[in-house]
A = this chain, B = another copy of it.
Amino acid sequence: MPSPDTRTQLLDAAEHLFAEHGFRGTSIRAITSRAGANLAAVGYHFGSKVELLHAVIRRVIEPITAAQSAGLDRLLARTPDPTVGDLVEAFAGPMFDGMLAGDETGARRSRMIVAILSDPAEEMRSWTGATEDAVHERYVAEFARARPELPAPELFFRIRGMLAVTAVDRVDLYNRSAPVAEDAARRWAVTFLTAAMSAPPTEA
């Protein structure tokens, strides 16, 4: 019984493999093999493969949502009318938490998020819970308050754009340079998105 916690080992292995090869491209056998567990361990601990997926997703998403929520609380306690830049920082920042240079888990988690957001498979599409929805609602409301002249549909479009940018790590088409240092990506994203969210409404 050398393994400390089979359940956790399974979650780690699954997160790695899902990010690397996608949900459908990862077999239970590959997961249990990497986790040093028996084939039946997934069925025992999680019930099925998709329930394991949901557990993995929850483990990735929850701390991000919590940080987004806490960040907004902190922001509103400091000032009643936060700037667009403040909101962007509070919303997008947590996506880059724990992505220190040299640490591969950050990049892997980023890939995982991209996979979650963009995978067309049915199993990937039901990852939001009440908590996530509530936090997103709050941010939508705050952005609407900070940019009252922006029509709602265009605001929604821009928020979708934010989500997309914060999760691009996977598209390494232009990533010909050295691995991005420390939290440079985070600050670049905030610059990028603050400018984008601050743009005047598109004229009709």
Contact A184 B117 (CB under 8 A): no
Interface residues on A, range: 35 or more
Complex contacts, A117 vs chain B, CB 8 Å: 118, 170-171
Q: Which residue of B lies closest to A20 (CB)?
A: B120
Q: In the complex, A174→B19 CA distance in Å?
A: 24
Interface with B: A51-59, A72-80, A93-101, A189-197, which one? Answer: A189-197
Interface centre among A119, A140, A180 (most CB of B within 10 A): A119
Q: Which residue of B lies closest to A115 (CB)?
A: B120
What is the interface of chain A mostly: helix, strand, loop, or mixed? Answer: helix
Contact A173 B195 (CB under 8 A): no
Complex contacts, A20 vs chain B, CB 8 Å: 120
Contact B175 A156 (CB under 8 A): yes
| Given contact pairs A20-B120, A118-B115, A164-B165, A174 touches B196 in the complex (Cβ within 8 A) | no
The residues of A with any CB-CB pair to B shorter than 8 Å are 19-22, 24-25, 111, 114-115, 117-122, 128, 136, 140, 152-154, 156-161, 163-165, 167-168, 170-177, 180, 184-185, 187-196, 198-202
Can you report 13 residue pairs joining A to B where beta carbons are below 8 Å apart?
A21-B120, A21-B121, A22-B120, A114-B118, A118-B119, A152-B177, A153-B180, A154-B184, A157-B188, A160-B173, A161-B192, A192-B199, A195-B196
